[in-house]
Structure 1
């Protein structure tokens, strides 16, 4: 049974107390502080605009270890041809707004609410939230965003207006994270798209052990500097 959190509460129940469907808690608020606290323990918000805030700890968990990235032959060819140009943290607002507009199967509206966007922009300005932009002929055609805490990256959403654009950006992100000794990418929920790139499902207990270890990985938040010629 999900826990109710009144406004202003600055704690969460233990994530392993989540319901079988992953729902952990209902309520509280979407402040930058509250989101950082939630993600530190693998908890994330997912709800509709008209609903109370729902907090989830899904299990099993879809994750990707950077060293396990799989790049298909066709994607290797695109990378070799430098089919797109990629930058980090140069158009965060545009990326998250584009993700908000994506129509997803089985969903009538988006979980990326205006309030969530405002909070993530705040986290981006503080150096915690990051965007990956994919460009073609100077136009933003794909991208993704997420949160970096310690040596874990918590992926949130992606969009693609051109075939393979988001996948191209994701591969560049994983390569960057591996170079910077990140241990894990939290993909939250399984999709065939992520599995094809090397993601796997792990138990909630195993995921929680990674979270506990990551608490001791102290990394100062900062803007990521990465850009290819556009």
Structure 2
């Protein structure tokens, strides 16, 4: 078993290929320690590494293999969600906003209960770090607004055309799914091919996400991060990227 590297602030992250494998205690774990400053986070995401830790732990850095990704061309728009989107887009007071209130979105995500979890990985240090990343133009929120109130949303990291999904929350039925669908539309509009989902869940799989080898994902990000990224603003016309396509056979 290889020893887990301990990082001091300013130390470079190890190559993601050095992350613990399936026969190690915690597959995907790459290193511990370091710092959550903007430069470190940008470097980490540029090399397919992300932080994930609980309040009683040091900073932990991860690069799982395989990686869960959503190819935006393969997003499954089930009939039920298609009906929800059609109703949402035709109802006054319903809109999608991007980066209107990032702080409210990440705070809501940090407070949302998770199945099988007693706490949250979006600890105060993480909130502060991603707020700084947002101010630097690298983290974004996609927000579902209904009658002037934030109903749900998600936040993500964007480096060029490399987009990394982080977390979502909902206060109204399907509000987080609406935000994800809006992000898919934005990505399709600006030729962003995939959204990183980090780890496999049945919910993500039901929406069309699948696993990809880390080596393929690293190669994709290396190309995508150098390409011109999307305009982080949502226009209602972008819904045509989904709603003009044939509905899924699933319900």
**Cα contact 1:40–1:149 (8 A) shared by 2:** yes
Q: Would you say 1:225 and 2:225 are equivalent positions?
A: no
Following superposition, the deviation at residue 217 of structure 1 comes to 2.1
Match of 1:26 in 2: 32
**Cα contact 1:155–1:186 (8 A) shared by 2:** yes
Q: Would you say 1:66 and 2:72 are equivalent positions?
A: yes
Measured on the aligned residues, the alpha-carbon RMSD in Å equals 1.6
Matches within 5 A, 1:123-142: 123-142=133-152
Following superposition, the deviation at residue 197 of structure 1 comes to 1.4
Following superposition, the deviation at residue 63 of structure 1 comes to 0.2
Following superposition, the deviation at residue 59 of structure 1 comes to 1.4
Stretches of structure 1 that go unaligned for 5 or more consecutive residues are: none
Q: Which runs of 4+ in 1 moved over 6 A?
A: none
Q: Matches of 2:228 and 2:61 in 1, distance apart?
A: 25
Deviations 1:60-89 (A, max 9, x none): 110011111110001111111126421111
Match of 1:175 in 2: 185
Following superposition, the deviation at residue 6 of structure 1 comes to 1.6
When Rg is computed on C-alpha atoms for both structures, the one with the higher figure is: 2
Deviations 1:171-225 (A, max 9, x none): 0111111101112210001112211111111111211221222243254xx9722
Which shows bigger deviation, 74-83 or 86-95? 74-83
Equivalent pairs counted in the alignment come to 225
Deviations 1:74-123 (A, max 9, x none): 11111111264211110100000000001112222111111111111111
Q: Would you say 1:37 and 2:39 are equivalent positions?
A: no
- Residues 1:99 and 1:64: Cα distance change in structure 2 (over 3 Å): same
| Paired residue secondary structure (2:153) | strand
Match of 1:80 in 2: 86
TM score, norm. by length of structure 2 = 0.85
TM score, norm. by length of structure 1 = 0.92
| Paired residue secondary structure (2:211) | strand
Match of 2:5 in 1: 3
Stretches of structure 2 that go unaligned for 5 or more consecutive residues are: 22-26, 237-251
Match of 1:149 in 2: 159
**Cα contact 1:130–1:223 (8 A) shared by 2:** no
